[in-house]
Amino acid sequence: MQPGAELASKLSGCKHSERRETDSLYTLYGDRKYPTEVPRTRRDHGETFLRPKIADLLPDPPCGSDSALEDKDQDLPDLLSQPRNGKVTYQKQPDPQWATRTDIHTMVMDIKTFFTSEMATLKVDIGMLAGKIKAAEDTVQSLGLKQQSADTHLQEVSNTCAALSAKVEHLEDLACQRNLKIQGIPDAIDDGELPHYLRRLFAAALTPKQAKGLQHNGLYRLPGGPRNKDQTPRDVILGFKSQSDKDTILSQVKGYALFMFEQHALSFYHDLSRATLQWRTTFK
């Protein structure tokens, strides 16, 4: 029997849309049905199956009028055009959602152009930033040199100031070497009464002959505001015309920690600068 006659006999024998009992064993692949028991493998990006029988490849017989059946007959697959090597190969069609090779090439070129432009802009920006960094480094180096010069000059000025300060203290000591500093004279004794107070003091501390030969050319109390009763009175500076007169008084009161006179505890010192006094105290 010819394949066309067998197909016509199968189509004419269908009256109802009933599925065969073996339909559950069939799986739809594309526009054909194949038995699920048929072994299959993958090759060349397609699915390859052992070739089944032609009768098993036919779909379920449709139901309808003769004209409808004729239309369906035109849509049936051409079974004779299948390969005769025992295998049926189906090629997968490209997904229309994916871009073509031309589109991909265009996209790649656009990306290359974009990155080339961005790299050029980035190189220009990096060059400008490098110039600014170089200028900042030059400025920092220049400021560092200026700072070193200023530090050197400051050190020289500091040394000069120290030398001048030492010289001033030495000159003060030379100018005040004949002065005598007396501590403990009450502030209640005013400047007008101080000369009489000192005459009585020297008469009590020295012999009459020593007291008679004393000559001083200056007397004053250190300036400052009034002090409280429980604080030390301001010092009195007494300048002598001769260094020997000052040494005479100091030699007489040297053995006393405090010289008591008229219920006043008095102390006698050289009128020297604070640094000189500290230096002498350190090396005593």
Q: Render each residue's pLDDT in the chain as its tens digit; 284 residues.
A: 555 555 555 545 544 444 444 444 444 444 444 454 444 444 444 544 445 555 555 555 555 555 554 554 455 445 444 555 555 555 555 555 566 888 888 889 999 999 999 999 999 999 999 999 999 999 999 999 999 999 999 999 999 999 998 888 778 777 777 888 888 888 788 878 888 888 888 888 888 777 777 777 777 787 766 555 556 788 888 888 877 888 888 888 776 667 888 888 888 877 776 666 676 666 55
Determine the pLDDT at residue 120.
93
Strand pairing report for 87-91 and 216-221: unpaired
Determine the pLDDT at residue 19.
45
- Check: CB of residue 32 under 8 Å from CB of residue 77: yes
Q: Is 134 helix (H, G, I), strand (E, B) or coil?
A: helix
The length of the chain is 284
How far is Cα 63 from Cα 55, in angstroms, rounded to an integer? 18
Alpha carbon 209 to chain centroid distance? 83
Q: Return the domain boundaries, the chain.
A: 3-91, 97-175, 176-282
CATH 3.30.70.1820, domain 176-282, yes or no? yes
Q: Is 62 helix (H, G, I), strand (E, B) or coil?
A: coil
